[in-house]
């Protein structure tokens, strides 16, 4: 999954922040990057064509820099509906993961909602890593920058089918060398079966240790799922939240559950989302 990552870039100033993050991904097995830029179709068409040529030059420069970091890099610049073309390119180039950026909500309130990034999450059949980025991060990678082996993984689970799908991503991260994991179950009002919850968390913790995890913590907390997940994530200095895209109480046909949506909107760092099984 992590060896080939499709990176969606809008080539705004914030994209430079995203590019500075990418070298960290070598630590977790990334070897090939496909850089994708999609220009929305404007009229007259020749204007869009001219703009694409300028973007290809910028992508080529970014590719050259990343190649010096040891990546094999492919470049895709096209026009169309951004989310659709990003996912088409990711599939055509056999990427295992799609990386999209989300502007910091401290700068633009809920800028992520309704954006290309949200549409990618809704449509994708591949895992999607949502990286919070800020155009004013300076020349250094931002603090909440992608992830590497030192990043703590926070996995909130309600033991649904969607959560089990996400659990397979968490095991992959353990096999790729991430060391520290927290398994969180949020107990909502009226929920029963406390001993069973602890047993299931311990069983999952055992799977992660077998996959190579050094430290696995389990936590059960009362409250509202999205609020408790965000509170727990905020208490860690550097954390990657891994979630399924559908909740236990999902509405039939809904692609993005309300808890996942709220966490993606408000999380200060990275969120890795597992798609539903087809």
Interval 146-202: pLDDT, tens: 788 899 999 999 998 889 999 999 999 999 999 999 999 999 876 776 789 999 999
**Which of 118-122, 133-137, 218-222, 237-241 holds the top average pLDDT?**
218-222
Closest CA to 64 of 50, 54, 74: 74
Residues 116, 218: one domain? no
The whole-number pLDDT of residue 144 equals: 52
Looking at the domain assignment, is residue 79 inside a domain?
yes
Looking at the domain assignment, is residue 119 inside a domain?
yes
Looking at the domain assignment, is residue 74 inside a domain?
yes
Residue 159 belongs to domain spanning: 152-274
Q: What is the mean pLDDT of residues 235-262?
A: 74
Residues 198, 116: one domain? no
Looking at the domain assignment, is residue 260 inside a domain?
yes
Q: How far apart are CA 157 and CA 167, in angstroms?
A: 8
Looking at the domain assignment, is residue 147 inside a domain?
no
The predicted model scores a pTM of 0.88
Residues 21, 128: one domain? yes
Interval 28-70: pLDDT, tens: 999 999 999 998 765 555 556 667 788 888 899 999 999 999 9
Count of structural domains, the chain: 2
Looking at the domain assignment, is residue 21 inside a domain?
yes
What is the pLDDT of the chain when averaged over all its residues? 84
Residues 217, 113: one domain? no
Q: How far is CA 39 from CA 100, 112, 150, 215, in A?
A: 15, 18, 36, 44
Looking at the domain assignment, is residue 123 inside a domain?
yes
CATH number for the domain including 16? 3.40.50.620
Looking at the domain assignment, is residue 175 inside a domain?
yes
For the record, the structure tokens of 17 come out as 């922040």
Interval 99-140: pLDDT, tens: 998 765 444 334 333 478 888 988 899 999 998 876 554 455
Residues 23, 127: one domain? yes
The helix/strand/coil state of 180 is strand
Peptide bond into 152 cis (omega under 30): no
Closest CA to 8 of 113, 116, 100: 100
Residues 60, 126: one domain? yes
Beta strands at 128-133 and 270-274: parallel, antiparallel or unpaired = antiparallel
């Amino acid at each position: 999954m992590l060896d080939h990552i499709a990176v969606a870039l809008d080539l705004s100033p914030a994209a430079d922040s995203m590019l500075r993050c990418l070298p960290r991904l070598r630590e977790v097995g990334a070897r090939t990057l496909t850089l994708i830029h999609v220009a929305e179709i404007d009229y007259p068409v020749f204007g869009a064509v001219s703009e694409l040529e300028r973007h290809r030059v910028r992508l080529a420069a970014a590719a050259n820099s990343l190649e010096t970091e040891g990546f094999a890099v492919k470049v895709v610049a096209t026009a169309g509906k951004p989310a659709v073309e990003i996912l088409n390119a990711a599939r055509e180039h056999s990427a295992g993961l799609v990386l999209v950026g989300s502007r910091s909500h401290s700068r633009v309130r809920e800028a992520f909602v309704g954006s290309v990034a949200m549409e990618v999450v809704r449509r994708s059949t591949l895992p999607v890593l949502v990286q919070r980025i800020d155009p004013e991060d300076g020349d250094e990678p931002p603090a909440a920058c992608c992830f590497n082996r030192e990043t703590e993984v926070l996995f909130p689970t309600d033991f649904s089918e969607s959560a089990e799908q996400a659990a397979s991503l968490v095991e992959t991260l353990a096999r790729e060398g991430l060391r520290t994991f927290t398994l969180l179950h949020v107990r909502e009002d009226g929920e029963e079966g406390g001993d069973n919850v602890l047993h299931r968390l311990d069983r999952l913790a055992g799977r992660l240790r077998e996959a190579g995890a050094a430290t696995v913590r389990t936590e059960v907390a009362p409250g509202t799922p999205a609020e408790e997940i965000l509170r727990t994530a905020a208490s860690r200095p550097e954390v990657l939240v891994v979630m399924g895209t559908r909740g236990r109480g999902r509405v039939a046909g809904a692609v993005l559950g309300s808890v996942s949506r709220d966490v993606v909107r408000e999380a200060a760092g990275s969120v890795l989302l597992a798609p539903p099984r087809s």
